[in-house]
């Protein structure tokens, strides 16, 4: 373990050239304080945070000061927002503080969100607020605990600086960690501004640091695009299986490494609603839950277009086609596991879909229903104790078919239950629980985040935490709708 000042710092991204970034220092906040640090993540990264001086730590993790070896930059990128190209994007309120290479040779970006204005702020304040920062801090851990590729969050800080949103709120910063913050939009920026040599240099950079196995291939750029389509498909398949709605799938929010990126008005489904729209500002439902796989492909074609000087159009098309089969295969594999199937049978998709349709028709909670299915067996499926989920008359035929199906895979139903409990979370970061936690954090109860991080690191086992964390929302707690304003 190394202290922050001993890490092996680099600035590989800034070395790509000045057209891709601007050198900007964070703008200090008024009286910042550390709300929480993710010790599990710090340990994974080999950073010793526990023995650091608290004041120094607060300074560095909240953007109050920087180390001499850091050289913070705002990244320039563009992108398609709700289908329209916007040439004026870039890090408007975040900075790539520095990069470091860990003892195993992996490179990590330390990116501070909420660090003040940059040349890409477009007149906005460059700040983040506690509300959205707590949500991003928690969901990064939640996604990781569910096995969904994601950026991570190392530290959350608050400050007295007032920030104007719909109301006046307090400023916050979030220290985000990812192997790279390069987005689809980086390539779109270079393409639409005619910097074709730089497109190749940026692709070489990503291949070098993150896909070294492609480096010696003759058609490495086609392989690079294929890799991006594959990792994006894997990520979105996980979203669909775990009911995750991203909310703002603009191409500037798509990571080139297939990590869930830029959390805004995201939500996990409560009631299973295939057309759920979590973003209040998404009037047409472009980013509705069921649209996400198709939008992933749309975004990949926008990326493919930006890479057209490097890759033959037939190869781009082939990768885009393969995306559909990969996402379907991944989705089916993961969903079969959620239903406890260890083998693959022809009727599995139909059986799974009819359960989802029933949940939708009956207004049942997605995660809770599957968890109940994993904690019970054929002899108690008709019990009233099942909290009005499976003991509905509409479920009788489905349960009979399901019972026949699981007999093909298990001799002992306890084995099925155990296997299913390992992939069906007991705890989900539901929107109303996140809201409740935000209020507690705003009231100074930071310990609640210790409990949440422990729960989210392994949401499949029982934890000592408030009992309502494992329950669906009451009807008055449903329907919280969030906008992009964060
Ligand atoms: P997002 O919807 O968070 O992905 O942001 C879209 C663009 O707006 C990005 O270029 C952000 O950096 C920028 N942005 C969002 N909020 C702010 C803010 N408060 N100040 C400056 N730029 C912002
Ligand atoms: Mg963004």
Per-residue pLDDT of the chain (486 residues; tens, 9 = 90+): 999 999 999 999 999 999 999 999 999 999 999 999 999 999 999 999 988 888 999 999 999 999 999 999 999 999 999 999 999 999 999 999 999 999 999 999 999 999 999 999 999 999 999 999 999 999 999 999 999 999 999 999 999 999 999 999 999 999 999 999 999 999 999 999 999 999 999 999 999 999 999 999 999 999 999 999 999 999 999 999 999 999 999 999 999 999 999 999 999 999 999 999 999 999 999 999 999 999 999 999 999 999 999 999 999 999 999 999 999 999 999 999 999 999 999 999 999 999 999 999 999 999 999 999 999 999 888 776 665 678 888 899 999 999 999 999 999 999 999 999 999 999 999 999 999 999 999 999 999 999 999 999 999 999 999 999 999 999 889 877 776 667
- Single out the residue of 160, 129, 158, 202 nearest to residue 37, CA to CA: 158
Residue 153 contacts residue 139 (beta carbons within 8 Å) = no
**Whether the predicted model's global pTM rises above the 0.85 cut:** yes
Residue 485 contacts residue 166 (beta carbons within 8 Å) = yes
Looking at the CA of residue 253, tell me the nearest atom of ligand 1. Answer: 4
φ/ψ of residue 407, rounded to 5: -65, -20
Q: Which residues contact 231 (CB under 8 A, 6 or more apart)?
A: 149, 257, 258
Looking at the CA of residue 484, tell me the nearest atom of ligand 1. Answer: 2
Q: Which residues participate in catalysis according to the annotation?
A: 252
Q: What is the helix, strand, coil percentage profile of the chain, to 5?
A: 45, 15, 40
- Single out the residue of 247, 242, 208, 248 nearest to residue 224, CA to CA: 208
Helix (H) or strand (E) holding 130: helix 130-145
All residues with CB under 5 Å from ion ligand 2: 253, 262
Q: Which residue's CA is the nearest one to ligand 1's atom 22?
A: 92
Distance CA 309, CA 66 (A): 39
Task: List, chain by chain if needed, residues with CB within 6 Å of any ligand 1 atom.
Answer: 89-93, 120-121, 124-127, 248, 253, 262, 264, 484
- Which residues lie across from 37 on neighbouring strands? 155
Q: What pLDDT does residue 386 have?
A: 63
Q: What pLDDT does residue 384 have?
A: 65
Distance CA 248, CA 243 (A): 15
Please enumerate, by residue number, every residue annotated as part of a binding site for ATP.
90, 92-93, 113, 125-126, 176, 183, 262
Q: What pLDDT does residue 385 have?
A: 67
Neighbouring CB atoms inside 10 A of 83's CB total: 12
Residues 228-245 as b or e (16 or more Cβ within 10 Å = b): bbbbbbbbbbbbbbbbbb
Q: Which ligand is nearest to the CA of 93?
A: 1
Please enumerate, by residue number, every residue annotated as part of a binding site.
90, 92-93, 113, 125-126, 176, 183, 253, 262
Q: What pLDDT does residue 393 have?
A: 86
Å from CA of 484 to ligand 2 middle: 10
Distance CA 381, CA 417 (A): 13
Å from CA of 307 to ligand 2 middle: 21
The rounded Cα 379 to chain-centroid distance in angstroms is 38
Q: Count CA within 13 A, CB hemisphere, residue 275.
A: 5
Ligand 1 mutation pick, 93, 112, 174, 254, max ligand atoms within 8 A of CB: 93
Please enumerate, by residue number, every residue annotated as part of a binding site for Mg(2+).
253, 262
Å from CA of 116 to ligand 1 middle: 11
Looking at the CA of residue 128, tell me the nearest atom of ligand 1. Answer: 19
Q: At 266, is the secondary structure helix, strand, or coil?
A: coil
Distance CA 23, CA 206 (A): 21
Helix (H) or strand (E) holding 97: strand 94-101
Q: Which residues contact 470 (CB under 8 A, 6 or more apart)?
A: 371, 426, 427
Q: Angle 130-145/448-457 helices, nearest 10 degrees?
A: 30
Distance CA 44, CA 220 (A): 31
Å from CA of 91 to ligand 1 middle: 7
| Residue 151, token pair as written in the block | 């950026």
- Which residues lie across from 175 on neighbouring strands? 112, 155
Ligand 1 mutation pick, 124, 132, 189, max ligand atoms within 8 A of CB: 124
Q: What pLDDT does residue 391 have?
A: 84
Q: What is the 3-state secondary structure (H, E, C) of 316-372?
A: HHHHHHHHHHHHHHHHHHHHHHHCCCCCCCCCHHHHHHHHHHHHHHHCCEHHHHHHH
Distances (CA, A) of 56 to 33, 53, 64, 68, 114: 11, 5, 9, 14, 19
């Amino acid at each position: 373990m190394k202290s922050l000042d001993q890490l092996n710092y680099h600035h590989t991204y800034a070395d790509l050239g000045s057209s891709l970034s601007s050198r900007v220092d964070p703008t200090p906040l008024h009286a910042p304080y550390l709300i929480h640090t993710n010790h599990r993540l710090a340990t994974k990264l080999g950073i010793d945070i526990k023995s650091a001086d608290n004041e120094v730590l607060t300074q560095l993790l909240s953007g109050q000061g920087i180390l001499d070896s850091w050289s913070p930059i705002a990244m320039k990128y563009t992108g398609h927002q709700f289908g329209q190209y916007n040439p004026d994007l870039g890090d408007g309120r975040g900075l790539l503080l520095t990069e470091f290479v860990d003892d195993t040779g992996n490179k990590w970006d330390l990116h501070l969100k909420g660090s003040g204005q940059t040349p890409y702020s477009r007149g906005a304040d460059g700040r983040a607020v506690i509300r959205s920062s707590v949500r991003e801090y928690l969901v990064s851990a939640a996604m990781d605990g569910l096995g969904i590729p994601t950026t991570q969050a190392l530290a959350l800080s608050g400050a007295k600086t007032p920030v104007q949103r719909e109301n006046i709120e307090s400023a916050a910063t979030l220290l985000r960690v990812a192997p790279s913050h390069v987005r689809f939009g980086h390539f779109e920026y270079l393409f639409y501004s005619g910097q074709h040599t730089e497109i190749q240099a940026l692709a070489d950079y990503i291949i070098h640091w993150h896909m070294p196995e492609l480096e010696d291939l003759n058609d490495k750029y086609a392989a690079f695009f294929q890799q991006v389509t594959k990792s994006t498909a894997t990520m979105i398949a996980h979203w669909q299986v775990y009911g995750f709605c991203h909310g703002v799938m603009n191409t500037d929010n798509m990571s080139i490494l297939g990590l869930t990126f830029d959390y805004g008005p995201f939500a996990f489904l409560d009631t299973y609603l295939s057309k759920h729209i979590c973003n209040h500002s998404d009037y047409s439902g472009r980013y509705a839950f069921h649209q996400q796989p198709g939008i992933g492909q749309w975004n990949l074609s926008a990326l493919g277009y930006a890479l057209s000087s490097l890759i033959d159009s037939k190869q781009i098309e082939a990768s885009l086609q393969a995306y559909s089969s990969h996402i379907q295969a991944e989705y089916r594999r993961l969903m079969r596991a959620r239903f406890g199937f260890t083998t693959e049978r022809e009727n599995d998709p139909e059986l799974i879909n009819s359960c989802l349709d029933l949940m939708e028709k009956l207004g049942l909670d997605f995660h809770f229903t599957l968890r109940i299915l994993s904690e019970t067996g054929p002899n108690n499926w008709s019990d009233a104790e099942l909290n009005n989920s499976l003991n509905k008359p509409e479920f009788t035929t489905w349960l009979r078919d399901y019972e026949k199906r699981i007999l093909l895979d298990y001799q002992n139903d306890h084995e099925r239950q155990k296997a299913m409990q390992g992939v069906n979370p007991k705890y989900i970061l539901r929107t109303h629980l996140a809201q409740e936690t935000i209020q507690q954090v705003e009231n100074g109860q930071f310990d609640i985040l210790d409990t949440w991080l422990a729960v989210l690191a392994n949401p499949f086992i029982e934890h000592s935490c408030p009992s309502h964390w494992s329950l669906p929302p009451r009807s008055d707690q449903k329907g919280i709708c969030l906008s992009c304003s964060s």
